[in-house]
Amino acid sequence: MTTAILFIIAAVPCLYWTQGLETRPAVEAAGIKRLCAPAEQADGWRKAGLTVTTIGESEFGAREALSAPGVSPRPGVASPTRAPWIVASGWRFMRAPTTKYSYSAPAGKAALAAAEAFAYDADAIIKVDPADLPSVGAMMAFFDTLPTEDLPPVADFGVVDDGSAITGEVLNLLARRNLLFHVEKGPSAHYRLNIVIGSAAYPQADAADPSTFAQKVRAQLTDEQRSLRLYGSEVVIARLTSDGKRARVHLINYGGRDIEGLRVRVRGGYSSGDGYVAGTGKVALQDQVVADGAIEFSLPKIGTYAVVDLK
Amino acid sequence: MHRRAFVRLLTAGAWVKAAGLDLLARGKPADPIGAGLQIRSDLPALKIVSRYSPAAVPGMPGPYPGRVIKVKSDKCVDTATNTANDPVVREMMAQGMRALTGAASTEDAWRRFFTPADVVGIKVNCGGYPNCISAYEIVGETVRQLTTVGVPVSQVYVYERFQNQMDECNYSAHLPQGVQSVAAERANRNTDNSGYDPETYLEANLFGEEDTRSSMMRLVSKRLTKIINIPNMKDHGATGATGCLKNIAYGSFSNVARTHQRGKSHTYSVVGTLASIEPVRSRTVLQIMDGIRGVWHGGPFARTTKYVFYPKQILFGTDPVAIDRLLLDIIDNERKAHGAISIWDRNPASLKIDDGRARDADPNVNIIIREPGHVEYAASLGLGVYDLAKIKLQELTV
């Protein structure tokens, strides 16, 4: 396990709201206190007491657009016994952490988009469907309740990014399988494993099947040596940050259904922790076991997003 | 967790892990009753984690290894209406239990297994609803006999993994008030893990899945002291047949559908290995195989009567391997009678991967290469007797 040297302070995504003050009751009812709004609306919202960042439509459009997060059924391919296809952007945030991003979230997706962006400290603006105001407002309020942390991300290996699409898809599949990597410009001495696509060890031809490629990397790491494992779901993606003494686990549930008893294993010398579940608040970790150089625990129930702080 | 308890957990867990790994690595019988078995070597690594120690005489194979009582009755079911005959079933149960134990009375036969202090789970099978599930008459008579020996109804649990299946079958309507009906998950959606014990599990990476654990139901590990297993006589697309071993194993652990997909089944070694994990192995003390009805193709489901048949029998024993060994022939013979390919067929030409519709339409279609050898593998783990020559079958007729 190696902690990456670079990290940024947690950023809270901004909600892009183009509607006027006539929607103030709904915005206030959702508990939203900060907005991104076009210039013609910004002053009105400021006078209404909100913190507003002026964002024009062109500026929103100039940001790198992200797909709405979630799971995507693949008729004729997926089946109930297989892991569904997850649409997630964590790998993009890791690949380009300083890029400015935007989501145009359809109804039902804004809270998940906010959680995803928050978990990865991404500079993201989310265009919100009005139906999502309550859920995304609750998610933003949840972010405010979390203890402040500025821990660096944990990675088990490095991936040298050549900027190609094929490497991007590999990063996508690695992230989706909760294989913790850090994007590097060249092989790093921090890691016992460095993935250089196009090298003899990792030829381009192998990377053409990114799912199999991710399995190859997983086998090289071995599950026992992975800093983080999840059990009880195939639709949760985790991000782990740590300074070696404390750790934060972000758990993003892309499946759209509550998950009960999600099991988490984190390697390291942690002996206790607290859980924070969006929609619930602070929860005790269940069935906690510390053994074999790792801590394991379960969360009673998570919806879209949860955070666990370990010490 | 208290420090001392934690240390004990580590010790026990390490021992069980080591024992499981060693056994599987060597691929050798754990018990002399498994001698002479032919076990494949191309098997995935399976790691058992459990802090439970085996009983002095584990329930499987229990006190009667290799012994099977078959009670037949032409009157046990009206095949025109698919209705079981309750009095006949009761008599079959009574004769079967007395013959198995050698007890003079039915009550004494049940007392060989249960005391009033026991908390008893009845593992039913709801997968074949509506045409072939653990018969209400057998489950009902089982509960009646448990109460006769003094087990309070509040200490009797009828269980399955999925609540939606239990709701369909609705055993409660057929049982005395107070019998508990328990499921671990609302439905087969892989979102409810709270009903499972995260410290008692099988770990295996079979197809590259991320969730590599199958955990035992908390009810089984934390609450029950004894289990009665009531499977059906059914064909199964991944295992060849589903009987005692499959019902108790895949019906007591989470995340098991992952073992068979894309035409390949790891059920060969996983079924028996799950059944061997403590405490399920020690606590499963009685096998009552419901053969009033059966399914010869398309199993484990029976949404239509197309592949339902009527063996008109109940098998009794403590040895799940011996009963399942007989079941393999029962299912295969029924398939042969209908001109269908054998459950042992491994011909790629019969395989239409994941094409459930083709399988349902044509009994000569497999969607996965079946693994009826899972029964022999279970014998290699010491769960019972596989060799037909060593199985002592006693047949009775009501």
Buried b / exposed e over B261-291, threshold 16 CB at 10 Å, is beeebbbbbbbbbbbbbbbbbbbbbbbbbbb
Strand partners, A16: A36, A127
Counting other chains too, the contacts that B179-184 makes at CB distance below 8 Å and 24 or more residues apart are B179/B143, B179/B153, B180/B154, B180/B156, B181/B157, B182/B157, B182/B158, B182/B219, B183/B159, B184/B159, B184/B217, B184/B218, B184/B219, B184/B254
Q: Domains along chain A?
A: 14-145 (no CATH), 157-225 (no CATH), 228-310 (2.60.40.1180)
Average pLDDT along chain B: 92
Distance from CA of A235 to the nearest CA of B (A): 10
Helices (H) and strands (E) in chain B, counts: 12, 18
Distance CA A244, CA A3 (A): 8
Cβ pair A288:B190 closer than 8 A: no
Residue B21 pLDDT exceeds 90: no
pLDDT digits (tens, 9 = 90+) for B95-132: 999 999 999 999 999 999 999 999 999 999 999 999 99
- List CB contacts of A216: < 8 A, sequence separation 6 or more: A206
Distance from CA of B130 to the nearest CA of A (A): 22
- Confidence (pLDDT) at A11: 81
Q: What is the torsional sign of CA B385, B122, B54, B245?
A: positive
- Confidence (pLDDT) at B23: 38
- Confidence (pLDDT) at B12: 31
Which residue from B minimizes the CA distance to A264? B198
Distance from CA of B41 to the nearest CA of A (A): 21
Given CB atoms, is A249 within the 8 Å cutoff of chain B?
no
DSSP state, residue B323: H
Do residues B244 and B125 make contact, with C-beta atoms less than 8 angstroms apart?
Answer: no
Residues in chain B closer than 8 A to A234 (CB atoms): 190, 209-211
Strand order across the A286-291 sheet: A228-231, A259-267, A294-302, A286-291
Residue B286 pLDDT exceeds 60: yes
pLDDT digits (tens, 9 = 90+) for B182-192: 999 999 888 89
Distance CA B252, CA B273 (A): 12
Residue A1 pLDDT exceeds 70: no
- Confidence (pLDDT) at B282: 98
Q: Give A79's pLDDT tier (boundaries 50, 70, 90).
A: very low
- Confidence (pLDDT) at B34: 65
Distance from CA of A180 to the nearest CA of B (A): 13
Cβ pair B210:A83 closer than 8 A: yes
Cβ pair A296:B9 closer than 8 A: no
SS3 track for B171-199 = HHHHCCCCCEEEEEECCCCCCECCCEEEE
- Confidence (pLDDT) at B82: 94
Interface of B with A in 9-48 (CB under 8 A): 9-10, 13
Nearest by CB to B1, from A259, A260, A289: name it. A289
Given CB atoms, is A261 within the 8 Å cutoff of chain B?
yes
H or E stretch covering B214: strand B213-217
- Confidence (pLDDT) at B329: 98
Residue A248 pLDDT exceeds 60: yes
What are the tokens at B183?
Answer: 């499921």
Nearest by CB to B208, from A80, A215, A231: name it. A215
- Confidence (pLDDT) at B344: 98
Across residues B357-384, what is the average pLDDT? 97
User: SS3 for B217?
Assistant: strand
pLDDT digits (tens, 9 = 90+) for B287-330: 999 999 999 999 999 999 999 999 999 999 999 999 999 999 99
User: SS3 for B16?
Assistant: helix
Beta strands A194-196 and A157-160 are parallel
pLDDT digits (tens, 9 = 90+) for A94-137: 999 999 999 999 999 999 999 999 999 999 999 999 999 999 99
- Confidence (pLDDT) at A10: 55
Residue A9 pLDDT exceeds 80: no
Q: CA angle, B117 as apex, B113 and B119 as ends, to 5°?
A: 75
pLDDT digits (tens, 9 = 90+) for A18-76: 999 999 999 999 999 999 999 999 999 999 999 999 999 999 999 999 999 999 865 44
Given CB atoms, is B211 within the 8 Å cutoff of chain A?
yes
Distance CA A166, CA A169 (A): 5
pLDDT digits (tens, 9 = 90+) for A294-308: 999 999 999 999 999
Task: Count the neighbouring beta carbons within 10 Å of the beta carbon of residue B22.
Answer: 11
* A–B CB contacts, 8 A cutoff, strictly below: 81
Cβ pair A234:B210 closer than 8 A: yes
Task: Please name the residue ranges forming H helices in chain B.
Answer: 3-26, 86-101, 106-111, 136-148, 163-169, 218, 244-250, 267-276, 280-283, 320-337, 356-361, 374-380
Buried b / exposed e over B120-136, threshold 16 CB at 10 Å, is bbbbbbbbbbebbbbbb
Distance CA B172, CA B182 (A): 11
ipTM score of complex: 0.90
Report the predicted TM-score, pTM, of the whole model to 2 decimal places.
0.91
Distance from CA of A118 to the nearest CA of B (A): 24
Q: Give B374's pLDDT tier (boundaries 50, 70, 90).
A: very high
Given CB atoms, is A216 within the 8 Å cutoff of chain B?
no
Residue B214 pLDDT exceeds 90: yes
- Confidence (pLDDT) at B31: 53
Distance CA A206, CA B274 (A): 35
Given CB atoms, is A272 within the 8 Å cutoff of chain B?
no
Distance CA B159, CA B163 (A): 9
Higher-confidence residue of B392 and B5: namely B392
Cβ pair A234:B211 closer than 8 A: yes
Radius of gyration from C-alpha coordinates of chain A: 20
Q: Tokens 């939606």: give the residue.
A: B164
Cβ pair B191:A255 closer than 8 A: yes
What are the tokens at A105?
Answer: 């979230």
Given CB atoms, is B258 within the 8 Å cutoff of chain A?
yes
Given CB atoms, is B130 within the 8 Å cutoff of chain A?
no
Residue B252 pLDDT exceeds 60: yes
Counting other chains too, the contacts that A209-218 makes at CB distance below 8 Å and 24 or more residues apart are A210/A166, A210/A169, A210/A170, A210/A172, A210/A173, A211/A173, A211/B208, A213/A170, A213/A173, A214/A170, A214/A173, A214/A174, A214/A176, A214/A177, A214/A179, A215/A177, A215/B208, A217/A157, A217/A174, A217/A179, A217/A193, A218/A177, A218/A179, A218/B208
pLDDT digits (tens, 9 = 90+) for B73-99: 999 999 999 999 999 999 999 999 999
Distance from CA of B179 to the nearest CA of A (A): 26
Distance CA A287, CA A274 (A): 13
Higher-confidence residue of A1 and A112: namely A112
Given CB atoms, is A288 within the 8 Å cutoff of chain B?
yes
Across residues A259-283, what is the average pLDDT? 97
Given CB atoms, is A80 within the 8 Å cutoff of chain B?
yes
Distance from CA of B290 to the nearest CA of A (A): 28
Closest CA to A81 of A230, A256, A234: A234
- Confidence (pLDDT) at A3: 47
Residue A93 pLDDT exceeds 70: yes
Residue A182 pLDDT exceeds 50: yes
Average pLDDT along chain A: 93
- Confidence (pLDDT) at B8: 28
Given CB atoms, is A290 within the 8 Å cutoff of chain B?
yes
Distance CA B201, CA A222 (A): 19
